Amino acid sequence: MIRTVRNLVRLLHIARILGKHDALSPVQDFDAPASVRWAAKVLSRRTGSSDKRPGQRIAAAFQELGPSFIKLGQALSVRADLVGEDVAIDLGALRDRLPAFPARDARGAVETALGAPIADLFSSFEDTPVAAASIAQVHFAVTDDGRDVAVKILRPGIEAAFKKDLDLFYWLARLAERFYPPLRRLKPVEVVEALAEWVALEMDLRMEAAAASELGENFSGDTEFHVPAVDWPRTAKRVLTVERITGTSIDDLDGLEAADIDRKATAAEVIQVFLKQALRDGFFHADMHHGNLFVEADGTLAAVDFGIMGRLDKATRRFMAEMLLAFLSGDYRRAAEVHFEAGYVPASKSVDAFAQACRSIGEPILGRAVNEISIGRLLAQLFQVTEDFSMETQTHLLLLQKTMVTAEGVARSLDPEINFWEVARPTIEEWMLDNLGPEARLRDAASQAAEIAQRLPALIDNAEKTMDRMLTSGVALHPDSLKRLGEERKRRNWPAASALWIIAILLAILLLKV
Q: For the segment 408-432, what is each residue's pLDDT rounded down to a tens digit? A: 888 988 998 888 777 888 888 888 8
Q: Share the mean pLDDT of the chain.
A: 80
How large a percentage of the chain has pLDDT more than 90?
A: 29
Kindly report the backbone phi and psi dihedral angles of residue 295, in degrees, each rounded to the nearest multiple of 5, phi listed first. Answer: -120, 120
Q: Average pLDDT, stretch 33-39?
A: 54
The three-class DSSP label of residue 288 is: coil
- Highest-scoring range by mean pLDDT, 2-16, 281-295, 431-445, 476-490: 281-295
CB atoms within 10 A of CB 449: 20
Give 1's contacts (C-beta < 8 A, 6+ positions apart). none
Compute the distance between CA of residue 226 and CA of residue 350 in angstroms, rounded to an integer: 46
pLDDT of residue 319: 85
Strands 283-285, 309-311: pairing is antiparallel
pLDDT single digits (tens) 295-338:
999 999 999 999 889 899 988 888 888 887 787 778 999 989 99
Compute the distance between CA of residue 386 and CA of residue 514 in angstroms, rounded to an integer: 44
Compute the distance between CA of residue 361 and CA of residue 373 in angstroms, rounded to an integer: 11
Q: Average pLDDT, stretch 203-226?
A: 94
> 302-326 as b/e, with b when 16 or more CB fall inside 10 Å?
bbbbbbbbbebeeebbbbbbbbbbb
15-29, 98-112, 151-165, 497-511 — which is least confidently predicted? Answer: 497-511
Q: Give the CA angle between residues 386, 391, 397 to the nearest 5°.
A: 85
> Given pLDDT bands bounded at 50, 70 and 90, which one contains residue 514?
very low
Q: Average pLDDT, stretch 436-442?
A: 63
Compute the distance between CA of residue 139 and CA of residue 38 in angstroms, rounded to an integer: 47
CB atoms within 10 A of CB 376: 22
pLDDT of residue 353: 92
Going by CATH, does the domain composed of 99-132+135-161+189-244 fall within 3.30.200.20?
Answer: yes
> Given pLDDT bands bounded at 50, 70 and 90, which one contains residue 48?
very low
pLDDT of residue 245: 94
Give 150's contacts (C-beta < 8 A, 6+ positions apart). 130, 138, 139, 140, 141, 228, 241, 242, 243, 244, 245, 304
Query: What Rg, from alpha-carbon coordinates, does the chain have?
Result: 28
| Domain regions of the chain by residue span | 2-96, 99-132+135-161+189-244, 245-436, 440-513
Closest CA to 67 of 108, 88, 95: 95
Which residues does the annotation mark as catalytic?
Answer: 287
1-15, 51-65, 255-269, 469-483 — which is least confidently predicted? Answer: 469-483
Compute the distance between CA of residue 299 and CA of residue 71 in angstroms, rounded to an integer: 31
Report the predicted TM-score, pTM, of the whole model to 2 decimal places: 0.74
pLDDT of residue 466: 67
